[in-house]
Chain A
Amino acid sequence: MVEGLVKRYGRDTLAVDGIDFRVPEGMTVGLLGGNGAGKTTTLALLLGLLIPTAGRITVLGYDMARDRFPALARMNFSSPYVALPQRLTVAENLRVYGHLYGVARLDRRIADLAEELDLGEFLHRPAGQLSAGQKTRVALAKALINHPEVLLLDEPTASLDPDSADWVRGWLERYRAERRCAILLASHNMGEVERLCTEVLVLKKGRLVDRGSPGALIARYGREDLEEVFLDIARGRQAARIGA
């Protein structure tokens, strides 16, 4: 749960400007916004990489400002922009993160993930030698190593071909349903957001400018799909559409 979250860098840059939201168990909430809208900053604040200027973040009942480590043990994160050590094999990387997250029966867990995410072919290959699609699957395996109850995903299907991206989305849907996991998804892929998210938060210049289910947003803006809604908001046509 996020209440009145503000992040300011120095005097001039307001990256996140007083946003509130919650991600219920078993739901996927999407963070939409153009470059610099504050999506990555919001994720970093939730993960404790950044200290908020104001506001409160509570994850799984823990106040992240005072007691973030018990919550971090039950969360995880995946982003194509944060790498895993390239010289270590996939299995070694998963072993490192399995130990960091205190995963029980780690060998079994790695074998299960290898099977579920089809990593077997390159499990013993250095991470730096994998294709973009394989790296994304490994990043997802790392993010799922501890059976997270809260999953933060930054562009989880970036650089994937449509088939692989579809496979990942399907997998995430199943995982959320089976584990009742709360997922916060930052993405520029509107089709992905429409398919996965139960609620969408639209950010612009750090402010939450609109929110609702994908269907509700599309209806409110009188558009065909979420991409057109996104363009309306990004180009400042929001008032005109609603007023129309």
Chain B
Amino acid sequence: MNGTARRVWALLYRHLALYRRSWPRAAELIYYPVLQMLIWGFTARFIASHPVTTFSLAGSMLIGGVLLWEIALRSQMGVAVSFLEEIWSRNLGHLFVSPLRPSELVAGLIGVSFLRMLVGLIPAIALAWLLYAFDLFQMGPILVLFFANLMVMGWWVALAVVSLILRHGAGAETMAWAVLFGLTPFSAVFYPVSVLPMALRPVALALPSAHVFEGMRAVLLHGAVAWGEMGWAIGLNVIWTAGAMVLFARQFRAARVRGALISIGE
């Protein structure tokens, strides 16, 4: 392993060891995705029991929406909460005086987030299949693009949240849970963008998630891949990721000027 790989692995190992020694943390990873699946799954089953075909498709779209949105939510929380773990354990000082580069810190947090997301989502996907006969993989290979776009969106939102924490301290920690929930109405998870008022549609269309969910509905309703929507989602993710990286780099430097890396837990 080269130096960068070892430092990223150090962070992964640190969080894996934490979850191994803290069952409430490990249980929490699975708890919320499974709970969401139960609530929305039964709602979808009720809707699907309606005799009209469109309604039965709406059930699939609900379950698909819940599962895919969990990818973005868990990816975002995985990065932001893992960063907060370092603040809560007062370990940031040791990390930032080690040879760990900020980019390696972010890579490590993304790795932790990916593992957390898998641990949370696999039981929910299995539950959707067992209880509601919903096979997420029926969407075909395009699902990989849905997954990738929503993960990347979760990560850049998390990078922005970490930047806010660097700027405002641990007092901004609620952002780790709040920001992506706040974007849910604009992400068109359960309804098309056209349902939103005209004034809000540009907000939705600026988010990669809205395009992913339009793409998901195209697959489930028409069996067609909406490549245009995928193109928008990828392009927007590139732009937002670049913006979040610039924001993070600036806030990290500003934190070193203000001394926030020493007092961030306060």
Contacts and interface: CB of A to CB of B under 8 A. Distances in A.
A127 to B, nearest CB: 9
Interface stretch (B9-17, B53-61, B171-179, B226-234): B9-17
Contact of B14 (A75, A83, A86, A88): A88
Interface in B1-53: 3, 6-7, 9-11, 13-14, 17-18, 21-22
B13 A95 contact: yes
Contacts of A41: 259
B257 interface: yes
B90 A100 contact: no
A209 to B, nearest CB: 23
A49 B261 contact: yes
B129 interface: no
A91 to B, nearest CB: 10
Contacts of B258: 9
A72 B257 contact: no
A97 interface: yes
B182 interface: no
Contacts of A69: 99, 101
Contacts of A231: none
B138 interface: no
A73 interface: yes
Given A97-B10, A99-B10, A49 B256 contact: yes
A100 B97 contact: no
B253 interface: yes
A61 to B, nearest CB: 16
B94 interface: yes
Given A50-B256, A96-B10, A88 B98 contact: no
A238 interface: no
B261 A100 contact: no
Contacts of A95: 13
A83 B99 contact: no
Contacts, number: 98
A47 interface: yes
A39 to B, nearest CB: 13
B94 A102 contact: no
B98 A83 contact: no
Contacts of B256: 48-51
B89 A85 contact: yes
Contacts of A51: 253, 256-257
B91 A102 contact: no
B22 A49 contact: no
Contact of A82 (B7, B93, B253, B259): B93
24 contacts: A9-B258, A47-B96, A47-B97, A49-B259, A49-B261, A50-B261, A51-B257, A69-B99, A72-B99, A76-B97, A77-B94, A82-B90, A82-B94, A84-B89, A85-B85, A86-B89, A87-B18, A87-B89, A88-B18, A96-B11, A96-B17, A98-B10, A102-B3, A102-B6
Interface of A: 9, 40-41, 44, 47-51, 69-70, 72-73, 75-77, 79, 82-89, 92, 95-102, 126, 142
Given A85-B89, A87-B18, 18 more contacts: A49-B97, A50-B256, A72-B99, A76-B97, A86-B89, A87-B21, A87-B89, A88-B17, A95-B13, A96-B14, A97-B98, A99-B6, A99-B9, A100-B6, A100-B7, A100-B95, A100-B98, A101-B99
